[in-house]
Amino acid sequence: MLKIVVMVSGGGTNLQAIIDGIKNGTVTNTELIGVISNNKGVKSLDRAAAAGVPGIVISPADYPTRDDFNKAMLDKLEELAPDLVVLAGFLVRIPEEMVKRFSNRIINIHPSLIPSFCGVGCYGLKVHEKALARGVKLTGATVHFVNEGMDEGPIIAQRGVAVEDGDTPEILQRRVMEQAEWVILPQAIDDIANDRIEVKDGHVVRKKGN
């Protein structure tokens, strides 16, 4: 049974997709043991509570320095001891210490086809604003392992989503969530929970027979 902790910052629609996937059996062999938010009072925490999952707030505002905040985050993860950490709309830079401690055991969902429209400062609605400004006809979402870089870890899964004439960033964001994020993130967790993928020479490959 894969024990996962999901880290969130806001609405938690990706968290909800994971909760629903576990409930409806599309995400198997997985136990959601906790949700960690860097923000108080966000809908993600309501979603966790409704699912009977412990919700924990670790807010930078409660710590004198960023290092203290990072240490608190890492201490909590060490205490929960998940097999996999899932960043689902988590808008905090993951400290190197945490990447090392959970090497190839942290995954992230990004709302573009990496390497397009990613990196420092490119998150949430900004991603879709950039895609529309560039005039791409296809965008989508990516699930990847987290390494020391920003959105640079080995790619696990991607799914394309058509950009339509007249799209606003909000309309495009919603389509990318519905058609891509909420599908490939639960699928990636199910693949990891059932040992179907591995990282070889920096790339994610499916294990033989999967």
Interface ranges with ligand GRF (CB under 6 A): 8, 10-15, 88-89, 109, 111, 124, 173, 177, 181
Residue with structure tokens 């807010």? 59
Antiparallel, parallel or unpaired: β 155-162 and 138-145? antiparallel
Amino acid sitting at position 134:
R
Shortest Å distance, C-beta 179 to ligand GRF: 12
Shortest Å distance, C-beta 27 to ligand GRF: 15
CB-count burial class (<10 Å; 0-12, 13-18, 19+) for 208:
exposed
Nearer to ligand GRF, 75 or 119 (CB): 119
Nearer to ligand GRF, 35 or 109 (CB): 109
How far apart CA 45 and CA 87 sit, in angstroms, is: 14
Residue with structure tokens 């108080």? 40
DSSP annotation string for 15-54 = HHHHHHHHHHTSS-SEEEEEEEESSTT-HHHHHHHHTT--
Set 110, 128, 144, 203: catalytic member:
110
Provide the strand spans (E) within the chain. 2-8, 30-37, 55-57, 84-87, 106-110, 138-145, 155-162, 197-200, 203-206
How far apart CA 115 and CA 6 sit, in angstroms, is: 24
Nearer to ligand GRF, 95 or 124 (CB): 124
The yes-or-no answer on residue 110 being catalytic is yes
Nearer to ligand GRF, 71 or 130 (CB): 130
DSSP symbol at 153: S
How far apart CA 156 and CA 184 sit, in angstroms, is: 9
Shortest Å distance, C-beta 33 to ligand GRF: 18
Q: Which residue is nearest to ligand GRF (CB)?
A: 89
Shortest Å distance, C-beta 188 to ligand GRF: 13
How far apart CA 135 and CA 123 sit, in angstroms, is: 18
Nearer to ligand GRF, 14 or 147 (CB): 14
Shortest Å distance, C-beta 62 to ligand GRF: 21
Residues classed as catalytic: 110
